[in-house]
Amino acid sequence: MKVKQAEFVISAVGPAQYPQDALPEIALAGRSNVGKSSLINRMIDRKNLARTSSKPGKTQTLNYYKINQDLYFVDLPGYGYAQVSKSMRAVWGKFIEQYILEREHLKLLLHLIDLRHPPTKDDQAMFEWLKYNELPVCVVTTKADKVPKGKWQKHVKIIREALRMDKTDELVLFSSETGQGKDELWSIIKQYGEI
Ligand code: GTP
Ligand code: MG
């Protein structure tokens, strides 16, 4: 994918603010700090278009990034961020849930999981819920550069088992640091987005 243009469009807090030009949307879900914003930046080769932070909970709205005239990346708020209040978490949850279940332009959900660690309870619950609702999902295991190459397949196996993934469920090994997995992920995105 040749990215000629990438721009931040809007931080949406509800459907009234979603873009109206009917482009395919590729959303990113995952724990706070798993690397959602960094993945967007790497996919479009921009350093900091999507705001990243070592402090979890940075992205708190639904952030739309338009890529060429082809698609949107939608950066969702991270789940499992303990330092926000319970009621606030419930609001975020509802909001994300509605977007995921009702947005007709959503073509693929990238579910990011940290390659270094076994999936958390939140990760498991999220993946189970996505599958139950028959969402097109691709698991992306992040921060591969932090795991020695020789251990990649072992970690992938643990993640596949913990999430109870089918053989046919897509999984891409990724690193925003090195660009590992970028081309493979673009080809999956193009396929699902029909781009
Ligand atoms: P929230 O917006 O809080 O939900 O976090 P996020 O999922 O958008 O994470 P973000 O992209 O901000 O990254 C969190 C931290 O992890 C930052 O310090 C990144 O530099 C680091 N990080 C992200 N991806 C990678 C990666 O592939 N490799 C390494 N080594 N660090 C990464
Ligand atoms: Mg973020």
Residue 92 is predicted with a pLDDT of 61
Mutational test site, ligand 1, from 11, 32, 36, 38, max ligand atoms within 8 Å of CB: 38
- Whether the per-residue pLDDT at 51 is higher than 80: the answer is no
Our separate counts of H helices and E strands in the chain read 5, 7
CATH of the domain at 110: 3.40.50.300
Distance CA 147, CA 163 (A): 20
Domain contains 1: no
The verdict on residue 162 lying in a domain is yes
Structurally, how many domains does the chain consist of?
Answer: 1
pTM for the predicted model, two decimal places:
0.94
What per-residue confidence (pLDDT) applies to 98? Answer: 87
Helix (H, G, I), strand (E, B) or coil at 31: strand
Residue 83 belongs to a domain? yes
Domain residue limits at 15:
6-193
Here the tokens at position 168 are 């046919």
**CA torsion through residues 110, 32, 75, 87, sign:** positive
The residue nearest atom 21 of ligand 1, judged by CA position, is 35
Q: How confident is the model at residue 88 (pLDDT cuts 50, 70, 90)?
A: low
pLDDT of residue 87: 63
Cα(33) to centroid of ligand 2, in Å?
7
Strand partners, 11: 63
Residues 69, 51: Cα–Cα separation, whole Å: 22
Decide: 119 in ligand 1 pocket, CB within 6 A.
no
Average pLDDT of the chain is 90
Identify the CA nearest to 125 among candidates 163, 97, 167. 163
Inter-CA distances, 97 with 54, 93, 111, 170, Å: 25, 6, 14, 22
Q: What's the confidence (pLDDT) of residue 1?
A: 86
Residue 31, judged by CB atoms within 10 A of its CB (0-12, 13-18, 19+), counts as buried
